[in-house]
Amino acid sequence: MSAHGRAPSGLQRVVKALLLAATTLASAGSAAAGTPIERGRYLVESILACGNCHTPKSPAGEPIMERNMAGGLMITAPPFAGTASNITPDRETGIGTWSDAEIRRAIVEGVRPGHGRLPNTQLAVMPVTLFKALLPRDLDAVVAYLRSVRPVRSEAPTPVYRMPVHHDKYPDAEAGFTETMMADPLRRGAYLVTIGHCMECHTPREKGISDYGKRLGAGGRVFDPQLVQGLPKDWPGARAANITSHPTSGLGRWSDAEIKRAITQGISRDGRRLQPPMAFGWYARMTDADIDAIVAYLRTVPPIE
C-alpha cells in the first residue's frame, strides 16, 4: 500500500520494477566507459532504452528482465502492425546468425537481413534516422553488448506492412557528430537527445511527417492505448509534452532539478506522474554528467508555443 493507504497504480509498479531491474546491471558510472560490452550495456540499458520496446512486460506493465530483449511491445497503426523483435543472440528466433555488419545496418538503416522465416525488409518503428548519429565506437559497443545478452527463444509474429516504410531525416543526425564534440556538454547533450530519439516523440507531425525544421520539441504526438499493447492495462495513453525552452508552454521556467526528475523519475513539475512510453526507468540509469548535458542542450532548443 502507498503512504496514503492506496494500492500502487500500474504506472507506479512499472517505475518500481524498472528501478529494481537497474540494480541488476553494472553501475552506470563505470559502464559509461570501460570495455565495449560495458559501454554497449550502458547505452542499450539507458539512453537508447532498447528494452522499452524489446523487453516483454507483465500484465501490470513490469519488464520481465529474465527475458530481456526477447521482444514484446505490439504496435498497430494504419501503415504497420507488428511486435518488437527478439534481439537476443538466439540463433532461431533472435539475431544469433546475423553478422556484426547486419546488426549495424538494422540499427542505422532499418534493414533486416533475410535470415530464417522473416524476409529481408525494413523496420517500420525503429528510429533509424536518429540512430544514424551513433558514433562508430558506440555502434560497435551496442553490437558487442547485444552479442553478450542471454539468448532467449521467443518467436515474434510476422509484421504486416500496409504501405511503404517512411523515416523522417533528423537534422543533427544528418550533420553527424564526432568524438571531439563529446568534450562539449552542449554537443554531447545534443548527441544523447538524438540517439535517445527524444524528438521523435516530442516533435509534432504534419500529414505524417515530423516537423523537425520549424517545430522541434513542440510536443503534441498522441499515443493511443488502442494502438499500443504491452504497457500497463490501466495505461490511459499519453500526449508528448513541449520540451522547448518556451517559458509557459515548455521547460523555460523549470529548474534543472525539475527537468532531471521528469527525465529519470517520470514526475512533472507539478508532481503529476508522466505516462509511458516515456522511458524514465531506463533514463534513470544514466550518469549525472550525461543527464546534465541533456538538460544543458534542452535549454538551447528554441522556444515554441
Q: How far apart are CA 39 and CA 272, in angstroms?
A: 33
**What does DSSP assign to residue 176?**
-
Closest to 57 measured CA to CA, from 233, 262, 237: 233
Residue 10: the pLDDT is: 53
Report the chain (305 residues): mean pLDDT per 10 consecutive residues: 43 49 42 85 97 86 89 79 90 94 94 65 82 98 97 87 83 97 98 97 89 94 78 82 97 98 96 90 96 98 96
Residue 116: the pLDDT is: 55
Please state the φ and ψ torsions of residue 112, each to the nearest 5 degrees. -90, 130
User: In the structure grid, which three cell numbers stand for residue 26, read together?
Assistant: 553494472
Closest to 217 measured CA to CA, from 233, 200, 192: 200
Residue 12: the pLDDT is: 53
Reported as type and span, the H/E element at residue 289 is helix 288-298
Within 10 angstroms of residue 136's Cβ, the number of other Cβ atoms is 9
Residue 137: the pLDDT is: 97
Sequence-distant (6+) residues with CB within 8 A of 305 are 246, 248, 249
Residue 4: the pLDDT is: 39
Report CA-CA distances (Å) from 20 to 13, 23, 50, 64, 268: 10, 6, 17, 11, 21
